[in-house]
A and B are shown apart, each in its own frame.
Chain A
Amino acid sequence: MKFFIESRKVLFLGLAVYVVLKALFTLGAVSQYIEQITLFAFIMIVASLGLNVIYGYTGQFSLGHAAFYGMGAYLSAYLTKVFEIEGVLGFLPAMVLSGMMTGLAGYVIGIPILKLRDDFLAIATLGLGTMFKVVLDNSDRFAEILGGSRGFVGIPRITNLEVTISVTVFIILVTRNIIFSRYGLFWRCIKEDELASVSIGVDTTRMKLMAFSYGCFLAGIGGALYAHLYTFLHPSSFDILKSIDFLIIVIIGGMGSITGTICAGLIWVGVIEGLRILLPVEMLDLRWVFIPLMLILLMMWKPYGLITKRSRQLGS
């Protein structure tokens, strides 16, 4: 009960967002396409929060987040196919299960690779992402249904506004509570100075693993929602570029800021899809010319991210 009372602000906000969006969708004020990308923006927020826990709060640089996102997507799609799930009630356990399995995978993979640091961790996770894509490309060799490089087709469309909003709000609340708990304190401690954390008795290996697997869990949940929103999965949707998408959202939003990640997720999806609407058809190719330029200029203008407190003046 305490959980709900303390988080009433977020709950009310979530409810308000839900009412507004529901009204817009049912009145038919927006197109189907905008409906879909709105839900997609929430999914991106859930998965980016995971990366924010790993990188923004704990300081473990991961470039393989899309692999876990994809893992969640494929697991959930596979589960709903095997158990022939069509409705929301059956989907929720499948989603949680695939999230947990992704988290477990993150734990197992984290044991060896979290020993590495900084750029070496980055390149190892980058390798992980590439390897995962190779596995997906060959996935039809061990399970015909996964489709390999042809893509996974015929996933039931289950993700709707209610599911997305409630999952997102719930995830935000849980993440917030963990961050303000003892564990969150340890995580931030590791980020600031790993050596000092060891010396005051923080079990850094365990804490890093926890943060990593929790972040992967969130990626898995996001992936599961994604799979049942677009009803089609392809290995190329989970490559390095996707990992970089998450990273950009975390950086723009400011590392270690939940509000920032939420805003940045909305902005990022809004900009990418917005340019698709704004630019005339013959100039659509220019979209990916503008986006990197904006990114570079943004980094020059605000190297610490758009929405962030300049809490640390010294060092980087």
Chain B
Amino acid sequence: MEVLGYILEQCINGLQLGAVYALIALGYTMVYGVLRLINFAHGDIFMLGAFTGYYLITKFTIPIYFVFIITMALTGCAGYIIEKVAYKPLRGAPKISLLITAVGVSLFLEYFLSLKMIFTPNYIGFPRPFEVVSYNFSILSVTNVQILIFTITGVSLGLLYVLVYRTKQGRAMRAVSYDQEAASLMGIDIDRTISMTFIVGAALAGLGGILYGIAYPQINVFMGVMPGIKSFVAAVLGGIGIIHGAVLGGLIIGMSEVFVSAFLSSTFRDGVIFIVLFLVLLLKPSGIFGKRTEKV
């Protein structure tokens, strides 16, 4: 029974981490869908979300749900500004220049924010806005932090689903990701749709940032790099451009990371994730839910 309890506990931990990855992966997958761009700066927006949450909680005494809303609004704005300032002037340039720009934006955010007068490069403890309570059910126990993370991820996933598949904006996004030129011929405002995608993706990443801060209470300016890459892997794993694929991918990555740390060694966890990625890419290059594209 003890072993089973331990495994279940690790399962919950894996789901917790996976849910955060899923939130970041959604932004990756949406941006990749419309722009075909691996937005390296996305991981840094996640970091920005964590820091915004930190300052809102420590400096102002406002209810936690307002913290979530304000952070999402601010990171959404950050995503919008990044897209307008850095990516939009490069519309039509080779894809690789766009990628280098994304790397540039990512490095800029990291090192600019790590300056001593801004966030400093040190680790900062994230304040817990509420007491952690553990609920015990026979063999497994769940904390209220985990319940919060699952609920928020679930709700935002549902809302995103409605946005993408039930609204006119969402239809425009899907059209742009399918064929940008044809979509613009059909009267869709491409720039607006791309901005919208960035705003929504960045807001979700910011949300992920606060949740990460609450769950693993130590934040740092460079904390977004690895989660960013892993979330992109998650998006590829599930089939890039597909919303439920990103969520499944995130959960797989989170689970495998936690299980490798728990049963093997934490130094192997990054490696194992990429072994999973390799297997998926070799067996099904378009990802788990991806449709087969033409093969040459």
Interface residues of A (CB under 8 A from B): 61, 112-113, 115-117, 119-120, 122-124, 126-128, 130-131, 133-135, 137-138, 149, 194-195, 198, 240, 244, 247-248, 251, 255, 285-286, 288-289, 291-293, 295-296, 299-300, 303-304, 316
Q: How far is the CA of A285 from the CA of B281 in the complex (A)?
A: 39
Q: How far is the CA of A112 from the CA of B89 in the complex (A)?
A: 37
Q: How far is the CA of A123 from the CA of B36 in the complex (A)?
A: 13
Which residues of chain B have C-beta atoms less than 8 A from A288's C-beta? 107, 110-111
Q: In angstroms, how far is the closest chain B Cβ from the Cβ of A141?
A: 9
The proximity string for B residues 245-280 relative to A, scoring 1 for CB distances below 8 Å and 0 otherwise, is 000000000000000000001011011011101100
Instruction: Determine whether the beta carbon of B38 is less than 8 Å from that of A292.
Output: no
Which residues of chain A have C-beta atoms less than 8 A from B233's C-beta? 123, 127
Contact of B270 among A134, A194, A255 (CB under 8 A): A134
Q: In angstroms, how far is the closest chain A Cβ from the Cβ of B184?
A: 17
Listed from nearest, the 8 A-B pairs whose CB atoms lie closest are A127-B274, A303-B93, A134-B271, A288-B111, A292-B108, A295-B104, A292-B107, A303-B97
Instruction: Determine whether the beta carbon of B267 is less than 8 Å from that of A299.
Output: no
Interface of B is mostly: helix
The chain A residue with its CB closest to the CB of B101 is A299
Instruction: Determine whether the beta carbon of B97 is less than 8 Å from that of A304.
Output: yes
Interface of A is mostly: helix
Q: How far is the CA of A295 from the CA of B101 in the complex (A)?
A: 7
Q: Is B232 an interface residue (CB 8 A)?
A: yes
A-B contact pairs, 9 of them (CB 8 A): A124-B277, A127-B277, A127-B278, A138-B267, A198-B296, A295-B101, A299-B93, A299-B98, A300-B90
Q: Is B229 an interface residue (CB 8 A)?
A: yes
The proximity string for B residues 13-28 relative to A, scoring 1 for CB distances below 8 Å and 0 otherwise, is 0000000000000000
Instruction: Determine whether the beta carbon of A289 is less than 8 Å from that of B104.
Output: no
Given A119-B36, A299-B97: A128 and B86 interface contact (C-beta under 8 Å): no
Interface size on B, residues (CB 8 A): 46
Instruction: Determine whether the beta carbon of B108 is less than 8 Å from that of A130.
Output: no
Which residues of chain B have C-beta atoms less than 8 A from A127's C-beta? 233, 273-274, 277-278
Q: How far is the CA of A116 from the CA of B32 in the complex (A)?
A: 17
The chain B residue with its CB closest to the CB of A305 is B97
The chain B residue with its CB closest to the CB of A252 is B100
Instruction: Determine whether the beta carbon of B93 is less than 8 Å from that of A289.
Output: no
Q: Is B223 an interface residue (CB 8 A)?
A: no
Q: How far is the CA of A86 from the CA of B114 in the complex (A)?
A: 42
Instruction: Determine whether the beta carbon of A296 is less than 8 Å from that of B38.
Output: no
Q: In angstroms, how far is the closest chain B Cβ from the Cβ of A67?
A: 11
Instruction: Determine whether the beta carbon of B115 is less than 8 Å from that of A296.
Output: no
Chain B stretch 82-141: residues in CB contact (< 8 A) with chain A: 86, 89-90, 92-98, 100-101, 103-108, 110-112, 114-116
Given A112-B282, A120-B285, A131-B271: A126 and B105 interface contact (C-beta under 8 Å): no
Instruction: Determine whether the beta carbon of B285 is less than 8 Å from that of A293.
Output: no
Q: How far is the CA of A48 from the CA of B246 in the complex (A)?
A: 34
Q: In angstroms, how far is the closest chain B Cβ from the Cβ of A293?
A: 6
Give me 12 other A-B pairs in contact (C-beta within 8 A), A124-B277, A299-B98 excluded: A115-B282, A119-B38, A134-B270, A194-B296, A255-B96, A285-B111, A285-B116, A291-B107, A292-B106, A295-B100, A295-B101, A316-B94
Given A112-B282, A126-B229, A299-B101: A251 and B96 interface contact (C-beta under 8 Å): yes
Q: Is B236 an interface residue (CB 8 A)?
A: yes
Q: In angstroms, how far is the closest chain A Cβ from the Cβ of B231?
A: 12
Instruction: Determine whether the beta carbon of A303 is less than 8 Å from that of B281.
Output: no
Instruction: Determine whether the beta carbon of B104 is less than 8 Å from that of A134.
Output: no
Q: How far is the CA of A244 from the CA of B38 in the complex (A)?
A: 14
Q: How far is the CA of A255 from the CA of B273 in the complex (A)?
A: 32
Most chain B C-beta atoms within 10 Å of own C-beta, residue among A112, A117, A316: A316
Given A123-B277, A130-B270, A138-B268: A240 and B229 interface contact (C-beta under 8 Å): yes
Which residues of chain A have C-beta atoms less than 8 A from B104's C-beta? 292-293, 295-296, 299
Which residues of chain B have C-beta atoms less than 8 A from A124's C-beta? 277-278, 281
Q: How far is the CA of A208 from the CA of B229 in the complex (A)?
A: 26
Most chain A C-beta atoms within 10 Å of own C-beta, residue among B32, B229, B275: B229
Given A135-B271, A292-B108, A299-B101: A286 and B115 interface contact (C-beta under 8 Å): yes
Instruction: Determine whether the beta carbon of B114 is less than 8 Å from that of A285.
Output: yes
Q: How far is the CA of A270 from the CA of B27 in the complex (A)?
A: 36
Which residues of chain A have C-beta atoms less than 8 A from B86's C-beta? 296
Contact of B115 among A115, A120, A198, A289 (CB under 8 A): A289
Instruction: Determine whether the beta carbon of B236 is less than 8 Å from that of A120.
Output: yes
The chain B residue with its CB closest to the CB of A315 is B94
Instruction: Determine whether the beta carbon of B278 is less than 8 Å from that of A296.
Output: no
Given A112-B282, A295-B104, A316-B93: A131 and B275 interface contact (C-beta under 8 Å): yes
Q: How far is the CA of A255 from the CA of B274 in the complex (A)?
A: 28
Which residues of chain B have C-beta atoms less than 8 A from A137's C-beta? 267
The proximity string for B residues 50-72 relative to A, scoring 1 for CB distances below 8 Å and 0 otherwise, is 00000000000000000000000
Given A130-B229, A300-B89: A120 and B94 interface contact (C-beta under 8 Å): no
Instruction: Determine whether the beta carbon of A130 is less than 8 Å from that of B268.
Output: no
Instruction: Determine whether the beta carbon of A128 is less than 8 Å from that of B105.
Output: no
Q: How far is the CA of A173 from the CA of B236 in the complex (A)?
A: 40
Which residues of chain A have C-beta atoms less than 8 A from B267's C-beta? 134, 137-138, 149
Q: How far is the CA of A67 from the CA of B296 in the complex (A)?
A: 28
